[in-house]
Structure 1
Amino acid sequence: MARISAVERRQELIDAAVLVIAENGVDGATTRRIADRAGAPLATLHYCFASKELLFGAVYEHIAGRYREVITESDVHGDVATTARGLMRGLLTWYVENPETASAIFELISWAQRQDGAKATGVYDEAISTVRSILIADAAAAGQSIDEATLDRLAYVVTVISDGFAINWMVYRTAGMEPEIELTIGLLDSWLAANLPGGEPVPPAAAELRSRPEAAASSDPIAGLVSWVDVS
């Protein structure tokens, strides 16, 4: 049998920790459970990570890095509105396709907030910064003149709405989330139409949702939310 390198073993333990944290929370993610999930002796885990805190720190950095990669990979290199929609779609799709990672993210952010608030804040700051840098680059490439304050707010909107969607998805775990993804992007479209210079047109599907007279009175909380955020 080929010998597994220390780097590979560390990654296996990190991957196992993500699953265990998603299933049991940070407090329930014991080193024994993580080692068992990785198919490794407990002694090997302690050899790779001197403490549980160091392991969780490595998991935290791994997930934060993957989050940045997803944002970068979702850059469609269009104008600002097209790029913003692409970034949000990429994040929402990633959350749906990786529920364990999504659960582990929020567990670890809560843990990091308790351990070191600056560390938790840093993940959000870096995510917003990554989105902002993509928006600035694509605006320049498309010849758009949009002030940085507007791009800052747009980067915030993309990340915050995406996180709200992720929390809802983790609660309901509904199958076939494409309609909900489109609806959520419709919320972004409302913001784009109201805040970008010249007013970006709202796609037909989003316009139809916003114009429904029954939306405000509907018992559907999502429809009610669409009515509440109508900024046109």
Structure 2
Amino acid sequence: MARMPSAERRRQLVEAAITAMTRDGVARTTTRSICAEAGVSLSVFHYCFDSKQALLEAAIETITGNYVARVMQAVEPRATLRETVHGALRTYWDHVTAHPGEHMLTYDLTQYALREPGFEHLARAQYEQYVVSAVALLEQVRAVRGIELRLPIEVIAQSLAATIDGLTLQYLVLGDERAAAAQLDVLADQMVALIES
């Protein structure tokens, strides 16, 4: 096993955990199976993480961070507000349809955290991170578009996070791409109405 910096090894273990949990589910994924997926020994896991809980927290941060990075790249300075909002939502949605298993994993992580004693705070942190991410996106949109928001940014961000969460779950359950696309358009219009002064 080649030596690598601990930050890189942590990333390797987080990616292995995401792969294993997406495939096998959170409850059935063990630290041993994550190590096997990453091709490292259990001692490497314990060197990088204090516990499975710490790894789950890192996985949640990584998944959400990846979504946010993708969406932020979709914000274009010369686009209209509606084009900007729709483009950001479409970028997120393209990932949902291309990688439904990873999005199912986010719900599995939430359920696991709520049911497993001592892990409850991870579910709260996960949903708080969704709102923080929505605030970051709205801040970027506001800065690029040079607009003042009609409502407090946290209110709009909470609405966006809750709505996209529900829309994602509905799509994962029903698999109706046409209905999801129509709802995405409605959501874009609602966000524009909430953002515009």
- Deviation sequence 1:102-147 (CA, Å, 0-9, x none): 122222234455521642342122022112212322331xxx5x54
- Alpha-carbon distance, 1:9 to partner: 2.4
Matched, 1:20 2:20: yes
SS at match of 2:84: helix
* CA 1:40–1:81: 2 relative to 1, 3 Å: same
Is residue 143 of structure 2 the alignment partner of residue 137 of structure 1? yes
**1:103 maps to which residue?**
104
> Is the Cα–Cα contact under 8 Å of residues 13 and 38 in structure 1 kept in the other structure?
yes
CA contact (8 A) 1:95 1:166 kept: yes
Q: How many correspondences in the alignment?
A: 191
Matching residue's letter, 1:186: D
TM-score, with length taken from structure 2: 0.77
How big is the shift at 1:33?
1.4
Give 5+ residue unaligned stretches, structure 1. 199-232
How is 1:130-209 mapped onto 2 (pairs within 5 angstroms)?
130-140=136-146, 146-149=148-151, 154-172=156-174, 177=177, 179-191=178-190
Which whole-Å CA distance do the structure 1 matches of 2:94 and 2:65 have between them? 17
Q: Does the CA contact (< 8 Å) of 1:13 and 1:34 recur in 2? A: yes
The alignment-based identity, stated in percent, is 23
Q: Which runs of 5+ in 2 are unaligned?
A: none
Q: Say if 1:57 and 1:188 are closer, same or farther in 2 by CA, change over 3 A.
A: closer
Structure of greater relative contact order (alpha carbons < 8 Å, 6+ residues apart):
2
Deviations 1:176-221 (A, max 9, x none): x4x45532222225536866769xxxxxxxxxxxxxxxxxxxxxxx
Corresponding residue for 1:210?
none
Alpha-carbon distance, 1:172 to partner: 4.6
Compute the displacement of 1:29 (Å): 1.6
Query: For the aligned residues, what is the CA RMSD?
Result: 3.0
Larger Rg: 1
Map of 1:56 onto structure 2: 56
One-letter amino acid matched to 1:54: A
